[in-house]
Amino acid sequence: MDYSHLQKEIDHCSKCGGCLVACPIYGELGVETMGSRGRVFLFSQYLEGNLELSKKFAEIMSLCLLCKNCTATCPNGVATDQLVLAARKELVGKYGLPLIKKTVFHHLLKSNGRLNLAARLLTVYQRTGLRWLVRKSRLLKVFPSDLEAKEKLLPDIQGGQPFLSEVAQRISVENPQKRIAYFTGCMTNYFFQNTGRSVLNVLKENQVEVFLPDQLCCGVPAEANGDEETMLHLAEKNVKFFSGLEIDAIITDCPSCGMALKEYGEKLGTEEAQVFSSKVKDITQFLMQDIELKIPTSNIPVTVTYHDPCHAVRGLKIQKEPRELLKKIPGLILKEMNGANQCCGSAGSFNLSYYQLSMQILAKKLTNITETGADVVATACPACEMQIGHGVRQNHLPQKVMHPIELLSEAYLAGD
């Protein structure tokens, strides 16, 4: 594989060690190789042929949240996450994917039919008392790897069916001020349907016409696990699904999806993909920058603290837009927490692979949330919502965890 485009990241590392303090994993484990400096060095040694793709190498590369905190802190902006992704790709090239990941990426993510079926089975598990039975029987306790605790990570599926199957493919409004296509992402489609409904309600209130074309997973889970082939397959399909629509923007409510969609153009190299990527915007960015947002008339007397998702604040560079959006809601008080832009420990499937470590990182976030005394934790990322929601439930905290768009939608509905 040609990694010459990543050589500059290696060359730019002056080995100053400034990234160590920024790395949440180094913060927990205190091991040099877990910081950016260690990972850059190890990957450079592999490229030079001095290092094998050993189990230890694989473990070090998998113990990265891809949170970009090191890059943001590094005086030279070394993009360690790109090196880690390249290392994971090499590992998959040599050893292949583990069976579970292969099944999920090759058979579920590439087919909405199979993914919908899996979601239905999960709904049956959650709603028929089967989950209660499994939990009561302590059956999961006999499995290793904190399976009992991990099972609680999954929130209740809010709707009985995928969000995309309950909505029309085109939602027209009179005299639209903009036309957009909505890429919902798997988390909103399968777990957080209320976020999807809120997005549609907010867009309707602002006279925006919405297209909801067929769509597949954005590809982030596959890419983060070194499966580039699946990521490219999904990218090609999604670009095709959205082509030909006369739209001003493609919006997402998930910054990880947003980052991935924005990279389709560069990854696929076609004009069609470049046009697609150039239109991608986070919903908060679209509402604050592209239209004159309608101000809700009702008072929502609630204190909110905002958690910055890594891929929003350091990936898409979105920090002020969700806060500005929240401040437009009359009566809402925004109270900043310490370390609002620090990772919550979710990082896709990191919380499944390294549950205890992920919970240690989350504990700091929960302390910061509690200190604010807020009623609601808002975060513009469904994966962070899942992680923080899990922490809130496990620790019996009083906060509700919501996407900012849900709060805005509630404010509009209260004024109707």
Contact set with ligand SF4 (CB under 6 A)? 13-19, 22-25, 36-37, 39-40, 64-70, 74, 76, 78, 80-81
Give the angle subtended at the CA of 28 by the CAs of 46 and 149, to the nearest 5°: 105
Nearer to ligand SF4 (CB atom), residue 182 or residue 350: 350
> Which sign, positive or negative, has the C-alpha torsion 400, 401, 406, 407?
positive
Nearer to ligand SF4 (CB atom), residue 302 or residue 362: 362
Give me the least distance between CB of 10 and ligand SF4, in Å please.
9
DSSP-derived secondary structure letter, 337: P
Nearer to ligand SF4 (CB atom), residue 347 or residue 378: 347
Nearer to ligand SF4 (CB atom), residue 76 or residue 201: 76
DSSP-derived secondary structure letter, 4: G
Give me the least distance between CB of 175 and ligand SF4, in Å please.
46
Nearer to ligand SF4 (CB atom), residue 39 or residue 323: 39
Give the angle subtended at the CA of 293 by the CAs of 289 and 297, to the nearest 5°: 155
Give me the least distance between CB of 90 and ligand SF4, in Å please.
17
Contact status, residue 326 vs residue 396, Cβ threshold 8 Å: no
Own/partner contacts of 94-100, CB < 8 Å, gap of 24 or more, are: 94/53, 95/53, 95/58, 97/225, 97/226, 97/227
Give me the least distance between CB of 30 and ligand SF4, in Å please.
13
* CA gap 27, 384 in Å, rounded: 20
Q: Which residues pair with 334 in a beta bridge?
A: 304
Give me the least distance between CB of 320 and ligand SF4, in Å please.
23
DSSP-derived secondary structure letter, 308: P
Nearer to ligand SF4 (CB atom), residue 159 or residue 345: 345
Give me the least distance between CB of 293 and ligand SF4, in Å please.
33
Nearest to 136 by CA among 148, 124, 144: 148
Give me the amino acid identity at 358: S
Q: Which residues pair with 181 in a beta bridge?
A: 211, 250
Nearer to ligand SF4 (CB atom), residue 33 or residue 194: 33
Give me the least distance between CB of 53 and ligand SF4, in Å please.
19
Give me the least distance between CB of 180 and ligand SF4, in Å please.
31
Q: Which residues pair with 251 in a beta bridge?
A: 182, 281
| Exposure string for 337-362, b = 16+ CB within 10 A, e = fewer | beebbbbbbbbbbbbeebbebbbbbb
The answer for residues whose C-beta is within 8 angstroms of residue 139's C-beta and 6 or more apart is: none
Nearer to ligand SF4 (CB atom), residue 15 or residue 396: 15
Give me the least distance between CB of 95 and ligand SF4, in Å please.
21
Nearer to ligand SF4 (CB atom), residue 194 or residue 342: 342
DSSP for 111-168, please give it: -HHHHHHHHHHHHHHHHSSHHHHHHHHTGGGGSSTTHHHHHTTSPPPSSSS-GGGSS-
Give me the least distance between CB of 245 and ligand SF4, in Å please.
35
Nearer to ligand SF4 (CB atom), residue 41 or residue 125: 41
Contact status, residue 326 vs residue 307, Cβ threshold 8 Å: no
Strand order in 376-378's β-sheet? 333-334, 303-306, 376-378, 400-402
